[in-house]
Structure 1
Amino acid sequence: MDFDFYLPTHIISGAECVRGGGAVFSSLGRKCLIVTGKSSAKACGALDDCTAVLDEQGIAYRVFDGIGQNPLVSSCEAAGKLAREFGAEFLIGIGGGSPLDATKAIAFFACNDLHGVDIYGDLPKNALPMVLIGTTAGTGSEVTPYSVLTVDETGRKRSFRDKHGLSYASYVFSDPKYTASLPYDFTISTALDALCHALEGYFASNATDISDMFATRGIDVIVQALENIKNKPKEEILMSDREMLLYGSLYAGVTINTTGTGFCHPLGYFLTEEYQVPHGQACAVFLRDYLREAKEHLSDKYEALFGTLGYSGNKVLALIGELLDVDLPVLSENTLKEVAQRGAPTGNFLHSPGVFTEEKAFALLKKIFNLL
């Protein structure tokens, strides 16, 4: 048995938890920078709730709303400069994975003489504390130290984490009501991302008893909620299902906090970078094959999971197929070979079921993109 576990983040959940969080914000300082995208934090009500509490507590703030999807390193550096000039003592990130991941980088840019890809180097032990408020149900970024950013010069995604633990949030607020404004397609894509996290983590070679416990619960509630909401218009999705998806994404996030992700993620990145496929859908393109690899190489663990859940792996395979909505581009063998080469040096391949090599990735890509 392996009981190793580390998560230094205080999670506060439930209806109106942000409005009741004045003492938390006050404990972190008297000035903060709020990091958001252009509109989602406002549309879902999270930004208004947050600023109302800050006003009640007499905390000065500024808003940086320049974070786009797949956030650029340069945007994070610009926000860090603003935080430094304002004298911010802490950060509040509001949004889905993009603003939350960006906030982690901004915490370091605000306190240190860093520029561009310095964020991927040996970081100083100095960063602003963070509060993260999730408004989607997929990324799990609230409860991990990982930040995935787009490098301006290459247009490619690259992740970092701080080895000292400073890229973890100090506090997380999780209120399902903030996910209610998400359109159906976005709800499905983010939920597929969470399902990828839970399944990739469960079958990772570095999984532990603790991560398996969170993964199993995450898979269960995400699958239940996806079955409930598939093909429903946004207005008919129940808050109880949105709650399941949000907390399912946190279970999955806690899982990958220990394990990281498997091969679905690095293989999916290029679909988002080059063809604007939403991240969750891009990763889910490879999820059924990840499950097939798990069944082949980890058959006992595979059977144990679905025995516990009370349904077969085929049910999950079919559900993924129903929810996938990706028009795969026509690609050459050389392009697919480059994708495989890019993923090969990562821990994602190393920790995937079996011996997942560059050659195996290339063969899988050719199968999926109909080049076999």
Structure 2
Amino acid sequence: MRLSVEPTGRTEYGPGVIAELPGFVDSLGHRRAFVVTDRGLRATGIVERVEKILAAAGIEHAVHEDIGPNPSTAELDRGAARLRAFGTATVLALGGGSALDAAKGVSLLAGNPGAAAADADRLWDAAAGLPLIAVPTTAGTGAETNGFGVTEDVCARRKVYIGHASVKPRIAVLDPELTLGLPAGITAATGLDALVHGIESLASRGATPFSAAYATQAVGLVGRWLPVAYRDGGDLEARAELMLGAHLAGHALTLSGLGLVHGIGHALTAHTGTPHGVALAAVLEEVMQFSAAAAGEAYEATARALHVTPAGSAAAIEAVREISGAIEIKRPLRELGVTREEIPEIAAAAVADAVTKNAPRLPSAAEVAELLRSVY
């Protein structure tokens, strides 16, 4: 077997590391920063903290906080227009996965005058975007590890992948202090996303020994510390370990790709606006059961990472069910706003999603529809 693996990039990890942001900006050759964040983060005090750190070091900056929970192509276009007006700078992606994904798109579009987010499929070979630093404020998406993001084409009611090698964050700044006090519901949704990243990375058709190493560590860390962080949002050790686990899961999925849980999750979110992690939780154990015959070794590795015996698919599924229960995240589809009439459309969208083609067992739309009805 011959394998080629890209370098993982620079990671700065530890409580308080956010204070070193000016040096990180300097290291990328700029004294200017364009901060991309979501509309709600300022209320936490984090945006103001970052602004003060940058200002104290003489870093000229602007803050763009027009990003929603499921960023649309229109939001990316608005951000890119503002960045073009601001001028050349380091892009500082600050927030959860939506803000980080949006920042990548904004950076790429700003480097390609005249391009629009609707051109996403044609931008993978475009000119380079501006250099990017990622500062996640949740522990889940792993968006700081790769150069692609997910945006929503509202008109087409589908998720669109936008990315380029140039917008893979040059530096990932992991400060668990930024996640202290994160609401329990957000902790659960983002943490469950990280757990799924690890599990699907182990089971995916694109899995390699490198991705499996990241994924195994990620599943172990997230499985242990997510329930702790959910119970006590102020536990810094739990927050730090969960953030590290989510970051490793991001590296895993970047190498291996994901699978059917994410294919369904994307479709559910596009149709109902359900938070990503909640959408994944609705079908996680059921997809694992559907895939078990084709993913036995991967689920055995999952069970071992979660320290359950005897290791095997049944043990892994039960352990995941217990974690979902501990963080109170699983909901039937009817509570997420899905109607029975929408199920065939959602199933078709899930099968068409690019990540589903990486699943260990390839489903038909009819099989996905049956699975969705089982959790209705």
Could you state the TM-score of these two structures normalised by the residue count of structure 1? Answer: 0.90
Asked whether the 8 Å contact 1:144–1:256 carries over to 2, the reply is: no
> Equivalents in 1 of 2:362, 2:269: separation in Å?
26
Answer yes or no: is 1:363 the counterpart of 2:370.
Answer: yes
CA RMSD, Structure 1 to Structure 2 (Å): 2.2
> Structure 1 residues 345 and 356, CA, compared in 2 at 3 Å: closer, same or farther?
same
Alpha-carbon shift at residue 271 of structure 1 (Å): 3.0
Which AA in structure 1 matches 2:319?
Answer: K
Q: Point out the more displaced range, 210-219 or 354-363.
A: 354-363
1:209 maps to which residue? 209
In the TM superposition, 1:247-326 aligns within 5 A as 247-307=244-304, 309-311=306-308, 312-313=315-316, 314-322=318-326, 323-326=328-331
Which AA in structure 2 matches 1:114?
Answer: A
In the TM superposition, 1:116-265 aligns within 5 A as 116-122=117-123, 123-162=125-164, 165-230=165-230, 232=231, 234=233, 237-265=234-262
Alpha-carbon shift at residue 333 of structure 1 (Å): 5.4
Q: 1:99-122: per-residue Cα shift (whole Å, max 9, x none)?
A: 100000001221221124023323
> Structure 1 residues 150 and 210, CA, compared in 2 at 3 Å: closer, same or farther?
same
In the TM superposition, 1:1-20 aligns within 5 A as 3-20=3-20
Asked whether the 8 Å contact 1:35–1:92 carries over to 2, the reply is: yes
Asked whether the 8 Å contact 2:12–2:171 carries over to 1, the reply is: yes
Alpha-carbon shift at residue 303 of structure 1 (Å): 2.3
Q: 1:195-251: per-residue Cα shift (whole Å, max 9, x none)?
A: 111111111011000100111111111111133345x354xx411111121111101
Asked whether the 8 Å contact 1:44–1:178 carries over to 2, the reply is: no
Alpha-carbon shift at residue 59 of structure 1 (Å): 2.0
Asked whether the 8 Å contact 2:139–2:191 carries over to 1, the reply is: yes
> Structure 1 residues 292 and 108, CA, compared in 2 at 3 Å: closer, same or farther?
same
Q: Point out the more displaced range, 150-159 or 245-254.
A: 150-159
Unaligned runs of 5+ in 2: 309-314
Asked whether the 8 Å contact 1:228–1:241 carries over to 2, the reply is: yes
> Structure 1 residues 168 and 195, CA, compared in 2 at 3 Å: closer, same or farther?
same
Alpha-carbon shift at residue 73 of structure 1 (Å): 1.3
Asked whether the 8 Å contact 1:139–1:193 carries over to 2, the reply is: yes
Q: Point out the more displaced range, 24-33 or 104-113.
A: 24-33
> Structure 1 residues 175 and 2, CA, compared in 2 at 3 Å: closer, same or farther?
farther
> Structure 1 residues 14 and 359, CA, compared in 2 at 3 Å: closer, same or farther?
same
Asked whether the 8 Å contact 1:293–1:353 carries over to 2, the reply is: no
Aligned to 2:127, what secondary structure does the other structure show?
coil
> Equivalents in 1 of 2:89, 2:301: separation in Å?
47
Alpha-carbon shift at residue 96 of structure 1 (Å): 0.1
Alpha-carbon shift at residue 298 of structure 1 (Å): 2.5
Asked whether the 8 Å contact 1:70–1:98 carries over to 2, the reply is: yes
Aligned residues: 363
1:25 maps to which residue? 25
Identity of aligned residues (%): 25
Alpha-carbon shift at residue 259 of structure 1 (Å): 1.7
1:36 maps to which residue? 37
Q: Point out the more displaced range, 216-225 or 289-298.
A: 289-298
